[in-house]
Amino acid sequence: MSAPRQIIMVRHGQSAANIDQTLYNRIPDYRIPLTEQGVAQAKAAGEQIRRRLDGQKVCVYVSPYLRAYQTLEALNLGDLVERTMEEPRLREQDWANFQNPAEIADQKELRNAYGHFFYRFREGESGSDVYDRVSSFMETLYRHWSKPDYAPNTLLVTHGLTMRLFCMRWFHWSVEYFESLNNPGNAEVRALVSTTGGYALDTPFQQWTPAHPAKTVLDSPDHIW
């Protein structure tokens, strides 16, 4: 397998629903656009990514959500992009169809108590469901990387939780460690960079509570909600 020099991930820029969550009750999640600030954030991320690519080609996989496509457009990578593929497995975690803000707020409280990885939204997915589809996507990546003409870089334009779960799957992080991590900010970039010993994450995710990547449920105190 000819693995890429780096696997770059970028979260979409600020969306209209990041400002007004009542939009989830009126607009399908996948059709929610970026704000003007979100476009500006994505343009700044594009400058960072172009520096990382240093003139080399990149193969792009993009979530089918409007805010992800608009982020990719604002990155303005031009002829550095060898190929762009829409990848539904990189979509946001499914929470519901049209979302009732009060009901979602109640479920978020339950999720915080139960755990972000295993809690399943009533009309949507759990973090573990997203983990499973990310694992399936990795199998596709391996097949693509086996082609002799594959670009030397990979770019994923996706969502914050999906980025964390991609890294969890790649680096074999434990569930307890995943639970300690915060999402990256809008249009933040992370890269898995090839080294002699495999891949290394260039910038760690911030943690809201200390935890080691090998920490398991055996190391956690009893939890009763």
Q: What is the pLDDT of residues 180-192, one digit of tens each?
A: 999 999 999 999 9
Residues tagged active-site: 12, 92
- Kind plus residue range of the DSSP H or E element containing 75: helix 66-75
- Give the model's pLDDT for residue 222: 66
Summarize pLDDT for 96-133 with one digit per residue, the tens.
Answer: 888 888 888 899 999 999 999 999 999 899 999 999 99
Stronger pLDDT, 105 or 80, i.e. the higher one: 80
For residue 133, what are the β-bridge partners?
none
- Give the model's pLDDT for residue 102: 86
Summarize pLDDT for 13-53 with one digit per residue, the tens.
Answer: 999 999 998 999 999 999 999 999 999 999 999 999 999 99
The structure's pTM equals 0.95
- Give the model's pLDDT for residue 221: 67
DSSP string, the chain: ----SEEEEEE---BHHHH-GGGGGTS-GGGPPBPHHHHHHHHHHHHHHHHHHTT--EEEEE-SSHHHHHHHHHH--GGGEEEEEE-GGGSPPP--SS--HHHHHHHHHHHHHH-TTT---TTS--HHHHHHHHHHHHHHHHHHHTSTT--SEEEEEE-HHHHHHHHHHHHT--HHHHHTBPPPPTT-EEEEEEETTEEEESSPPPBSS---TT--GGGSPP---
Summarize pLDDT for 136-190 with one digit per residue, the tens.
Answer: 999 999 999 999 899 999 999 999 999 999 999 999 999 999 999 999 999 999 9
